[in-house]
Amino acid sequence: MALARAFPAIEQQAQIVVAPDERCLNEGRGTVLAATGYDGLNSPIQLNRLLNALQLAGAVSCGRPTQPCRKDCGYRFGANGPRKPQEALRSPKMIDVPAPELDYPPATSGDIAVNNLESARQQSWSRFWELPQRPGIAECIVEQEQVTAQFLGDLHAFDRLGTLVNQLARRDDESIRTALIYAQVALMAHRFDEARDYLANAESRGAPPSATSRLSLSIDQACGTNLEAIFEARQRITAESGRLEDRVPLGALLADLRKFDEAERIYICALQEYRDVSPFAVAWVCFQLGVLYGELLAEPQPNQAEKWYRKALEYLPCYVKARVHLAEIYSLRGLTQDAEALLIPALSTGDPEIHWRLADVLDASGKIENAGAHMRAARSGFEVLLDKHLLAFADHAAEFFSGSGNDARRAFELAKVNVANRPTLRAFEQTYKAAVVVGESDAAYEILAAAKKRWAGTLAFSQSSLVMCENGASRAENPHDYRS
């Protein structure tokens, strides 16, 4: 059964739905075209750019750090928008901040696109097993599985890609093509050192820069490395193409540098200039804007965040991350029934975060026994993921164990793993706070020193939670004072 069927359908507005194009799988170029699930992403370049955007933006800007505040700069959209949300996505009226109107781009029905994606993914695997060396088929599967994991929360995609890699290792281990596939899969799983090694291997065998440069940029950006050079490259790429798939990585980088006004402008421009009809692409930008307002600011603006998460779900009802983030907002407002209605349909994905957030909602509703069952499922689910894909889930699992998972020591150990793998400012913030909570004063001091060595002098560091310690020796010497 396609994953879309696990979620209730959402009423469509016919004037904005664009029928899927009647094109098919282009095996020779390893790209899924419109009729097989990527409506509006009808070339290898478009699809690969979207995937690069998803990879690095997911790695860079979906955390929950304490960030600097900025003025309210919300947008309201005109009547020509996406489909009306179902009741589970509605909330009480709130006062909107007056802002310029912006029309949403039209898009294919999210339910249709997801069903097409699932059908295409199954077809691709069938063709792969018939002839694994078929040109482009393995690349096509990687693309489809990445989108399935990113949007639909199907984390079994990591295991399926592991199977793909194992098969290629047996049949075509020495080619440039295989090395590039290995690098892309390793990047998806946050095995960044491994991904770099595979890229170096591909380059040593003669892979052209055009085949390796985007992956290399994504790896460096995800790890907070060479950000000035990355920023220049992202600006140049965006100026040359003007595509949404290139604007998203630039916006994610600006958000990571805590230049939030600029990041917002990039995302809004991506929506304004988008000329294709993929609901995946537009929903992703809406989600990024929701994260910016709801997660990245020191003074979050949940009203604005809610609007963007709802818009993401109007385009793509199965978008699991958007459901989780919107459910958190509802739960904080005491709208536990609305939060529960968002989360329950997503349980079928197997993502342990759904169990985690639902447990919190049920606990707040007084349903203690059910909450306990879901919390146990969340804990077990995270441990399974960590056992298989430690680096991919260390940061998120650390967040779980530092909060509802109620295991501060486990959170600290996972945060250390994450910051060693990806020394971003956010990873340093998470690890420092985890060290403080468990009373590891020496470790906290060393983490702060490492963060200052890598990030001091940047705007991002000056606006981070760690700056409290930089400006006061007593804070650095007695990190137990830092518990906010």
Q: pLDDT at residue 129 above 50?
A: yes
Helices (H), 43-136: 44-60, 110-130
Q: pLDDT at residue 309 above 50?
A: yes
The 10 Å Cβ neighbour count of residue 56 is: 27
Helix or strand run (H / E) with residue 139: helix 137-152
Average pLDDT of the residues in 247-256 = 95
Give the model's pLDDT for residue 472.
52
Local structure of 193: helix, strand or coil = helix
Q: What percent of the chain has pLDDT over 70?
A: 76
Burial class of 324 by CB neighbour count within 10 A (0 to 12, 13 to 18, 19+): buried
Which tops the pLDDT comparison, 68 or 234?
234
477 in any annotated domain: yes
460 in any annotated domain: yes
Q: pLDDT at residue 39 above 60?
A: no
45 in any annotated domain: no
Measuring CA to CA, how many Å separate 68 from each of 15, 194, 281, 351? Answer: 40, 34, 27, 30
Q: Are the C-beta atoms of 114 and 318 separated by less than 8 Å? A: yes
Q: Are the C-beta atoms of 263 and 67 separated by less than 8 Å? A: no
Q: How confident is the model at residue 44 (pLDDT cuts 50, 70, 90)?
A: very low
463 in any annotated domain: yes
pLDDT digits (tens, 9 = 90+) for 14-23: 222 222 232 2
Q: pLDDT at residue 387 above 70?
A: yes
Q: How confident is the model at residue 49 (pLDDT cuts 50, 70, 90)?
A: very low
pLDDT digits (tens, 9 = 90+) for 329-371: 999 999 999 999 999 999 999 899 999 999 999 999 999 999 9
337 in any annotated domain: no
Give the model's pLDDT for residue 315.
97
Q: Which domain holds residue 457?
A: 423-484
479 in any annotated domain: yes
> Which residue, 360, 396, 364, 483, is CA-closest to 433?
483
Q: Are the C-beta atoms of 194 and 219 separated by less than 8 Å? A: no
Q: How confident is the model at residue 28 (pLDDT cuts 50, 70, 90)?
A: very low
* Dist. CA 293–CA 38, nearest whole Å: 28
Give the model's pLDDT for residue 459.
87
446 in any annotated domain: yes
Burial class of 109 by CB neighbour count within 10 A (0 to 12, 13 to 18, 19+): buried
**Count of domains for the chain:** 1
> Which residue, 8, 156, 2, is CA-closest to 86?
8
pLDDT digits (tens, 9 = 90+) for 424-454: 999 999 999 999 999 999 999 999 999 999 9
Q: How confident is the model at residue 50 (pLDDT cuts 50, 70, 90)?
A: low
Retrieve residue 104's tokens: 């949403």
Cα of first residue to Cα of last residue in the chain, in angstroms, is 45
Q: What percent of the chain has pLDDT over 90?
A: 70
> Long-range contacts for 43-48 (Cβ within 8 Å, ≥24 apart)?
46/243, 46/245, 46/276, 47/143, 48/143, 48/214, 48/245
454 in any annotated domain: yes
Average pLDDT of the residues in 285-311 = 95
